Chains A and B, each alone.
Chain A
Amino acid sequence: MRNPLIRRIPRELKGDFHKYIVIIIFMVLMIGVISGMYVGHDSMLAAVNEGREKLNLEDGSFELSKRASQSFIEDISTGKRADVRKYFIDKGIKEADKEVEKALEEELNKQVTQAIEERVREMCKAYGITDEEMIKKQIDSAMEESYEEALSEAKESKEYKKAADDAYKKAHEEVEKKVDEEWDKISDRYELEEEYNPSPVTIYENFYRDAPEDNDGDGDDDATVRLFKSDSVINKASFIKGREPQTDSEIAIDRMHADNVGVELGDSIIVEGKKFEVVGLLSYVDYLTLHESNTDFMFDAFGFDVAMVTPDAFNKLKSRVHFNYAYKYDDRPEDKIQKADYAESFLKALITQTLVYDIEIENYLPEYLRQASNFAPSDIDGDSAATSILCYILIAVIAFIFAIIIGNTIDKEAEVIGTLRASGYSKKELIVHYMTMPIIVTLIGAVIGNVLGYTAFRNVAVNLYYNSYSLPPCHLVWSNTALIKTTIIPLLLMFFINLIVIVRRMQLSPLRFLRHDLTKTRRTKARRLPRWSFIRRFRLRILFQNMPNYLVLIVGVVFIELMLCFAFGLPDSLSHYADEAPDMIFAEYQYMLMDYRDEDDNIIETKEPSAEAFSAKTLLFPRGANVLFEGRGSGGDEKVTVYGISEKSAYIKLESNLTPGQGYISSAFSEKFGLKKGDLITLSEEYENKSYEFTVSGIVDYDGGIALFMDKKSFDTVFDKEKEEFTGFFSHNEITDIDEQSIATVITAEDITKVTVQLNHSMGGFMNVFKYALVVLAAALIYLLAKIIIERNEHSISMVKILGFKNTEIGSLYIIPTAIMVTLFSIIGFAAGYYLMIWIFHVFMLQMDGYFVYYMKPASMILSVIYLLIGYGLVSIVDYIRIKRIPMDVALKNVD
């Protein structure tokens, strides 16, 4: 026979559908969101990973100062390091040989000349010639006649040969000794002596040009477009719409950028003054996010674009060609550790080979550290992980609410439970019975949630990703992980939380159930209350009676406040950052030059009166223990721009008596890593094993970047630069008299705010929806808990009605304690959420490049509490109606 108790479940669901429908909707939404995020995530990642193979994504790339020779390509392809020692010895010997040869020649010449002169003088003496004029004439003619013969005779002489051999030998030994000394230092520094396995690679040309793009035809440049050739076999693109360019006037541009700036297929854009028709919208496999530079804090799909043109069109453009080479390992690395090993080994090969070939490395970036191809997948991963953690917290909150509901049901049904236990029902049977409801509700939530996850929510997630990233097209992927995480985890949460509560409750003896003696700890006396009015003491009793409800409420409210702090704080922080941006930069324009000399070797100058030359270089600051999580940002250490500022700078004021080991740090640098005056920091070179120590002498109020400032003299000393060398100009106005070819980059306030524009675009709309969703969530949570409180007191409410209390009075008795608690918890929750958010932001920022502080407007702070109270206000109206509807006979009935 089937347990007849099971028939209670559907009736209970039907009988109390208000309560269960809220819980089920809650579960459906939570599970649906997690499922949607995971299915969207898996579908998206499947498309990304498929693209990596299909579109031949590089394993890394390097940019050289000039086009590499065929022999360089061949040598670097082996993955082997160049024999730098031999190279230097050969070079040294060649130079030494020249020197020795020159010295020997001079010496021999001197000796032969001397010998001839002496011989002529002796002969003249023998003939009695004393006239010096005559003697010189004789010497000259003798020189003319026999110099060559004497010289060759001397060269053939044994003495000369021995002397020459000795000289060469000595010079060679000297060279080797010197090179060895240097080599020891270099090899120690680069660890070049150690055993290594070369990783052979295949090298691909992946040249590009960065050109100005005018996408609305107004004559102003709107963005920088990075152009690649359409015949490239590495880092290919997938087309979302349209096709590859086929003529010189056709172009295919990034889909995300096109969406953002409103360019559609068939429109025209102007690149470098030339009109191109947009024939394709694409997604480059190595530009899933439009990071112009790997150190960019955020991608910029407005101001940066990647595009494909035909090789002919590419060759006709005038912007500087970036000699970028992509490589792929012949033996694929298996994991990230191996990727790092390979990358390090390849970098050594690259450094040594470029040294031997006398080429400079402009940039080196292993793919696993490439933000443009890894930011999106890791962000998608992070998003789904974060969303699911948030949802699990909410499911746990729901599970606790459920546990309270069941606890109340057990209270209410104590006598029935006692009777059943007395009749022979085992504890286990009753535990199973009371566990059935939460499990069924979770299962209903999981089934509907998963269906929605695979349909509506998946599309929401995918669209969310498409709104932010330049992703390839994707198709629905069945996700086992999603199914497990959206079914098993909520079930387990619900199961264990309820099991603990129910098992604890069921420990009581049948007799105690029958007597309704359910409290575990027996108070001998009632809690003493202050001598307040009856009404206030009544409310206080209700407060004490419902402590477990209020405990769940505070967890829920803190959680919702945290989310509200996020929903309000992120747009606030972005607009705060954008507002502050003009004050954040110390120069309206920062021109970084390719070199301080132009093509004709003249020092670059400008007539702009506000221009001021400065030196700069990028060093690394170890993030080390500051990082809590890895896998985001550009990876590795924080990049610090070190500035050498002229003595009487109009832009940055530094103390005049700084020594070379001292410097000022930017306020962003100080805040990000908690550095203060007097601290010692160690910065190291990116591609050399060289490090420098600096004492922080002060802090410059500059939030726009992680920077160290020192005077130019110290800069030149520390980095071994010539006095005349510099990197670029600070200027208040645009500099127009410098050849564009000589300018590497220009940094303006816009570059600082592009991150805010991008984030606002990606998340702005979502945040508003999120705020309202949170209000609904808060209201639902409070609704459930308030309903439990009233249900629990139905009997008393009915009784006080009989006694003659008015509904308003009863309302004030039962609603005001919750109102006080909700208000109190909202304020506590806000404070907790606010500080937690500051901490979360800081931890997040530590792993990213750059710095960005969390900020919340005072109005937003108030609103975040008010929003929650609005949610509660709605619930209390429902509560009041509910109290009004409780009939008086409840108190008189035995069974209802």
Chain B
Amino acid sequence: MQHLDEGTIHAWLDGALSKGEAAAVAEHVAQCRECAALVAEARGMIAAAGNIVAALDTVRGGVIPASAPMSDGQRSLWRRLRLTPARAALAATVLITVASLLTVRGGKERIASDSGARARTEAAPTAAHAPRLPASASTPSHDSAVRLANTDADARNAKPVNVKTMANAPVSAPRPRADTATKLAADQVFSRAVVASGAVPASSNAQPAAALPAAKTTTDALEAGVARRADVAPQAQLAVAGGVARPSLKSLAVMSELEGCYQVRSDSGAPTVSSGVPARFALVNVSAEPPHAVRAISPEGRIDSIVPGGTWQRLTPDMIQVSFANAGQPSALTLQVGGRVLARRFDAGKQTASLPVTRIDCRR
């Protein structure tokens, strides 16, 4: 298969390819380091462009209501970190090296891809883009890359592998989906580039089936070293190289507040958009690097196994996003933190609804 062109990559990330095409792209990306880097870069571009567009909304007469002023600590994280959109994009292209020790439990992690399908005919060699990338595409890290890390773990080989950042599991652009964006003030939006550059909102309609096992692997990778009891193989140890921009210590510290168990109540009135979203889930913050894994809650109220494809991260100081990339309809919950009760927005494909989400007690 030829290398992917930029347009195809964006189409893939935007969930605009057919299932067969997407599978072919996923397969190629999993094997081609160059294209994986382009995918990472594209994610960065998508995120950065979305942030820039959202920044427009602060214009006078704009449509975004003024939000509460933020403390200095939260202000313009992007700027404080001297991270510009392009740099973020570039940094996001950098692959992280993960010394991953894989525990193999059969070859089931292999992505089920439609190997017969080929990428779109417009796919063309993209060597021209390669020089944009840092020379060593597999070493340094950007934290946004980290959180996007999809272990391209070749489970069958059970050897240290390079995790190809963001190679698999195209989640759609983290475009500040309109209404979500209205909640974000400019600085918040910008700091989101740090917190969520190229990241999750899995709102694409055409999430390739391949994404599921990949995401599973990812969450495992992120959890490894802390949550050994993950019941899905393989587990990988994350060794994150120094990043260009990391969330501040402060922001990392407050992450732990958000850990805990949550319940989505499908009250009457709420459209039935809950497919793919468990009624109860636990957010665990075992790794300092988002996206963090989402775990299920057992009937006994105990934090249980990882929800495949489930990740969460903090978008702004008072907003977290929980994404579920599994099932046919990728969805994302945006939780507005407000005391004990969390309000919510729920995006599943094109559907949007408000669902009450409450914190519940549970135990490990």
Q: Do A and B come from one complex?
A: no
Q: Which residues of A contact B (CB under 8 A)?
A: none
Q: Which residues of B contact A (CB under 8 A)?
A: none
